[in-house]
Amino acid sequence: MCWSATADLVAGSGIAAIGVVTLARTRRIRDLPLAALPLLLGAHQIVESVVWNADGGTGPATLAWAVIALPLLALWVPLGVFCAAPEGARARLAGPLAAGAVTAGFLAYALAARPVTAEVRGRTLGYAVDLPHAPLLVGGYLLATIGALLLSGDRVLRLLGVLVTVGAVVCVALWRMEFISTWCAFAAVCSVVLLGWVHRPAPAAAPSG
């Protein structure tokens, strides 16, 4: 989320461009889901620029924003980490992946059954949807997304998990003050980290014999 329609559109376009480069530089098929994450985040920002221009409300753009932010990312992130992880690390990632699948299912049902509303609050947008068992869903969401990154066993992905945690805390604090929304900046930083991740050197092959 950014602080205006223009900021969202510019940030989203830039992040999506990083996503295109990240995908182009991906060398392993199993890295593709995570490599596509910046492209998804960029599209998310662009969708929110439409929400800004509509002055919030309950239109298709608001629903699209919520679908990406809630069920899609809840499943996309742990699945991407699971696919990219080496065989030895996948057992410990089964928990976040299962949490993501269950959480995404409940969130998708909630979005299908209840309206999502966006409201302009100063330099931020506030989204509201009636979620049953909200604390459990938030816990499942955090376990699926941040938990998967921290348990990945990959140094860069663990760094990404720390950045996402810090970014979420800062952004929520500023959003609650209705001062300014800064998630677009953290999304850009995370996208650059993923670009470096896909361009990392390939592991050395084990010596024969």
Is the distance from CB of 154 to CB of 196 less than 8 angstroms? no
Domain count, the chain: 1
Percent share of the chain, pLDDT over 90: 67
Residue 209 has pLDDT above 70, yes or no: no
Q: Which residues lie across from 126 on neighbouring strands?
A: 119
Structure confidence by residue, pLDDT tens digits, 1-42? 677 899 899 999 999 999 999 999 999 999 999 999 999 999
- Supply the pLDDT for residue 204: 46
By residue range, what is the domain housing residue 135? 5-198
pTM of the predicted model as reported, rounded to 2 decimal places: 0.88
Residue 125 has pLDDT above 90, yes or no: no
Banded pLDDT at 205 (limits 50, 70, 90): very low
- Supply the pLDDT for residue 201: 67
**Which three-class secondary structure state does DSSP give residue 121?**
strand
Which tokens in the block code for residue 128? 């509201």
Q: How far apart are CA 106 and CA 153, in angstroms?
A: 28
Structure confidence by residue, pLDDT tens digits, 138-196? 899 999 999 999 999 899 999 999 988 887 777 665 545 444 455 667 788 889 999 99
| CB neighbourhood size of 208 (10 A) | 4
In a domain, 203, yes or no: no
In a domain, 205, yes or no: no
Which of these, 168, 194, 209, lies nearest to 39 by C-alpha position?
Answer: 194
**Which three-class secondary structure state does DSSP give residue 124?**
strand
- Supply the pLDDT for residue 89: 87
